[in-house]
Amino acid sequence: MSQTHSVIPHIIDQHAEEAAFLWLLRHNAVYAPHYNLKDLAKLDNRVEAHIDGLRIAGDYGWEACCNNLEFKGAGEAFAAGFLALEGSNSDRINKVYQVVEECPEIVSGLISAFGWVEPQYLQGKVSGLLSSKIPLWQQVGIAACAIHRVDPGKYLDQATQDGDTQLRIRALRAAAELGRVDLKQAVLEQVNDQDTTVGSWAAWSAVLLGARGKALSSLQTRIIEGSDFSVKAMSVAFRVLGLHEVKEILKGLVQHEDRLREAIIGAGISGDPSYIPWLIKQMEAPKLAKIAGESFSFITGADIAYEDLEGELPKDFAAGPTENPEDENVTMDADEDLPGPDPLLIDRWWKQHQHGFTPGVRYLTGNPVNEQQCQSILRTGKQRQRQAAALELFLIQPAMPLFETRAIGKRQQKWLSST
């Protein structure tokens, strides 16, 4: 009996569909406020189970994934990319490359496939991308190296100076992620680039690599002036600036109602418990309550859901899309997965615990920021907390690679067990 007849086609088709769908869930989960490392590993196991079904199905498994590429989704690019990369059939790899080249917006799925495949299956495949003359493929090659925390060497050096904007941005990010302190000056020189996105990422990376001066000033300017990059700028700048300087920036932000959300996030990043009473006050506003609760937890370590500190939002409050066909708001609620705090319960909790916090000391989930605390959060914290801990840890030891909180759960657990 041939392999094609030894499988049940509709089951394999379902494996292909589920692998793509679960990857999309997983792609969102790595940034979700309610996922921890164990949750991520469980979701990874679900993705892996469907991938395993496709592996066992052999050629038909590949055909199912290949057929789904016509939908041109990132999840489909992940599933097909994984099977192609783990195998040694260049025609299959080229098929995935062709679809991604036609539809570059799904490249994230392919890059993720590189991250999931074990390094031994990538021999010769990444090097070919790095030496490509096409910026898109150089970008994929550098991203693949960055995910596995492997230094691309001269290819990264060259990419930080490339004329292609997207390639250069990915290279600037990779320089920081890999702890390439030797590239600090080259990165720093691009802080004032005429392309503001390039300049923003250059400043972000330069500060992580130890630069201060104009790189840090650049991040401060981006926060004060306001942009899509302001929260990302805060994530680094507020961990380096003195608490007084952070306070002055936040004072400016709260003068503008449309920037209150950023100010609340910034207060959480700062780690200063002196903001707690103000954060509790912000919880009284339904549209700010959840994000204020998250910043409160970032500083104090209180688990609002687990410790029964939740409250009810007004019944007529709708942060995201409603079922009303006349409602033109289709934007998803950014805080959907956050618990809604009860200001009175939170205030009571704070009065019982505030003696354990010293104003002017930076805290992250209830303890002063230090290497031991960051390692603990990487093991047990929620994803956003873990990303914060990774940045803090990197700033403590900038020559080490930035911990990759988006990597496969079992790989992260292995890294953490060795530290």
pLDDT in tens, 184-228: 999 999 999 999 999 999 999 999 999 999 999 999 999 999 989
pLDDT in tens, 66-110: 999 999 999 999 999 999 999 989 999 999 999 999 999 999 999
The residue whose two tokens read 């590949």 is 62
Asked if 299 and 276 count as a contact pair (C-beta separation under 8 A), the reply is yes
pLDDT above 90 as % of the chain: 90
pLDDT digits (tens, 9 = 90+) for 296-312: 999 999 999 999 999 98
Query: How many angstroms from the chain centroid is the CA of residue 262?
Result: 18
Query: Can you read off the two tokens belonging to residue 337?
Result: 């997965």
CA distances from 198 to 275, 380, 397 (A): 33, 34, 25
Contacts 24+ apart (CB under 8 A), 399-406: 399/179, 399/181, 400/179, 401/149, 401/177, 401/178, 401/179, 402/176, 402/177, 402/178, 402/179, 402/208, 403/378, 404/147, 404/149, 404/177, 405/30, 405/378, 406/30, 406/115, 406/147
Q: What's the token pair of residue 45?
A: 């196991």
Cβ contacts of residue 233 below 8 Å, gap of 6+? 200, 203, 204, 219, 220, 222, 223
Mean pLDDT of the chain, nearest integer:
94
More confident residue, 347 or 325: 347
The C-alpha atoms of residue 381 and residue 35 are separated, in whole angstroms, by 8
Q: Specify the pairing of strand 363-364 against strand 367-368.
A: antiparallel
Place 339 in a pLDDT band, splitting at 50, 70 and 90: very high
Q: Residue 79: which of 119, 40, 106, 43 has the closest Cα?
A: 106
pLDDT of residue 332: 63
Distance CA 166, CA 196 (A): 12
**Per-residue model confidence (pLDDT) at position 315:** 61
- Predicted TM-score of the model (pTM): 0.93
Q: Two tokens at 14?
A: 């379902």
Tokens of 323: 């079922």
The domain ranges of the chain are 1-123, 257-314+335-352, 362-419
pLDDT tens digits along 350-408: 999 999 999 999 999 999 999 999 999 999 999 999 999 999 999 998 888 999 999 99
> Above pLDDT 70, what percent of the chain?
94
